Amino acid sequence: MRILVVGANGTIGSAVVNEMKGDTEIIKASRSNSEIKVDITSTDSIMRMFEEVGEIDALVSTTGSAHFGPIEGLTPELNRIAVNSKLLGQINLVLLGLPYIRDKGSITLTTGILMDDPVVGGASSAMANGGIRAFVKSAAIELPRGIRINSVSPNMLEESKEKYGSFFVGFEPVPAKRVALAYRKSILGSQTGQSYTIY
């Protein structure tokens, strides 16, 4: 089984790589620190990545940026970061990657808990997360060749507490290992159109 992980060297991505390593071939991609370079905000870059990688059984995205900050300071330009990266970047991976995914393959995208449990400063990210979840639910009913699609909505990770702890006041962080299991379920299971919330 060939698995392409976009965002492979990040906190969630490296946990997914660790969870799936073994009998699978994992191809690691990210903006600058992986063997395969890709910028998900550029359709040209995404197309080049798939041409380089070739056929895969599973596409996993553990990336996507968004501006964090108060809604009053959220300009249309700042909001566009989430639109171009977390929302359209991940969706373009699906649209451009579909021909490269083998029959009965899978796609797994990443959202986040703040779309259901809001935090101050998280509106732009929540917008992108909700868009991804809706896209996944809808795309699942018409993806061809038995290809499945799911998304994972993690709570703040224990490993990210220092970085995001001040935003997620009162949240109980989850270990990356537990989050990675949801990706395993999406890649190796049978469900489609699901949003796995990891609380």
Ligand X SMILES: NC(=O)c1ccc[n+]([C@@H]2O[C@H](COP(=O)([O-])OP(=O)(O)OC[C@H]3O[C@@H](n4cnc5c(N)ncnc54)[C@H](OP(=O)(O)O)[C@@H]3O)[C@@H](O)[C@H]2O)c1
Closest distance of CB 112 from ligand X, Å:
3
Beta strands 195-198 and 25-30, pairing class: unpaired
Window contacting ligand X (CB under 6 A); options: 2-10, 52-60, 132-140, 189-197: 2-10
Closest distance of CB 5 from ligand X, Å:
9
Contact 34, 6 (CB under 8 A): no
Cα separations in angstroms, 182 against 64, 172, 177, 186: 18, 18, 9, 6
Work out the end-to-end distance of the chain between its first and last CA atoms, rounded to an integer number of angstroms. 29
3-state secondary structure of 29: strand
Residue whose CB is less far from ligand X, 110 or 150: 110
User: For residue 52, which phi and psi values (nearest 5 degrees)?
Assistant: -70, -40
Window contacting ligand X (CB under 6 A); options: 32-40, 47-55, 130-138, 187-195: 32-40
Cα torsion 149, 39, 179, 124: sign: negative
Residue 43 within binding range of ligand X, rule CB under 6 A: no
Residue 186 within binding range of ligand X, rule CB under 6 A: no
Residue whose CB is less far from ligand X, 24 or 65: 65
Window contacting ligand X (CB under 6 A); options: 37-45, 94-102, 116-124, 137-145: 37-45
Spatial distance between the Cα atoms of 42 and 45, rounded to a whole number of angstroms: 5
Footprint of ligand X on 65-104 (CB under 6 A): 65, 85-86
Window contacting ligand X (CB under 6 A); options: 5-13, 50-58, 138-146, 187-195: 5-13
Which residues, in sequence order, are CB contacts of 41 under 8 Å at separation 6+?
Answer: 84, 85, 88, 89
Residue whose CB is less far from ligand X, 98 or 182: 182
Footprint of ligand X on 154-183 (CB under 6 A): 154, 156-157, 160, 164
Residue 151 within binding range of ligand X, rule CB under 6 A: no
Q: Is 98 left (phi over 0), alpha (psi -120 to 50) or beta?
A: alpha
Residues in the site for ligand X, rule: CB under 6 A? 7-13, 30-34, 38-41, 62-65, 85-86, 110, 112, 154, 156-157, 160, 164
